Structure 1
């Protein structure tokens, strides 16, 4: 029932494009919280159409692809619920196009199996504990992945058409066209990110960063 940890570099080796044309699908409201520097983690268990129905960290640097279909305000903490509707402004479901505004670099892949460990992470994301616990209990023999990510803003957001291959309940997609004519700026400074990351480690009782 322990906590697993894999750590990577603290930032992109070169905080500039290009990175691989890979994107991770995530609720638009969570991307918004990451973009504002309020949330450092992504909570992943696996998509229904994944081959193994188990999340795999295929890349450590990727674009964040916003999704809207399954967002539910009741699964978001009350103080953030209005943002769900805000992310839907001007969006049709399913969307014909999406705007890529941020990329992310995974610094840690933390795995948890016990609800008491998950509870300690409640201050670090905008989801309700019930939602996070439900994800933990789905296929409860498999761990929940808590990815600490350093976010980077695209200096020029990119609107891309939604291709057929982007649809469905899966975590990873490969973008059909490269993203060009933009660059990356970190959302948080190195010092601010390191301090927030340490709070997560402290909450989980992790005393060293294993490489």
Structure 2
């Protein structure tokens, strides 16, 4: 690929990430081309359709989350899960339009599953050293991420909460509930 063609492709991917992060699936390829400062024909020469561009953008986003999980796993096990959840919160707050459920089948399933596996390993490491209670399951970690995504989405939609970063307070509540003593966890029996 020629240098200018490679530069255009990279500029399109960066612009697409910004546009899709803000507008999700409602964003058009014309929106992306405009944000990249290129004509639609240039975009179509690089990407056959919106799905191809979305796949490229989401793969990059989830690869960065995988890298963050791997970096967290390389650190102290008592902080790994917390570090990972904080990173996910920041990424979702900045780019909520890139979360997997927003895109359905276009989300890069192998990367999403790999990320779930890594978060399960982070949970196991935190439990081994007593930083997280034994009652916490991988499904609890997944639900925590869903909850963060929901709080972030509500912040985006409700002008009263814009910029309040309520997701950070919510994450603190989740992390207290994950604590080793389990004092914030209420067991329900039927």
TM range (shorter): under 0.3
TM value normalised by structure 2: 0.25
Quick check: which one's helix share is greater?
Answer: 2
| RCO comparison, higher one (Cα < 8 Å, 6+) | 1
Larger radius of gyration: 2
TM value normalised by structure 1: 0.23
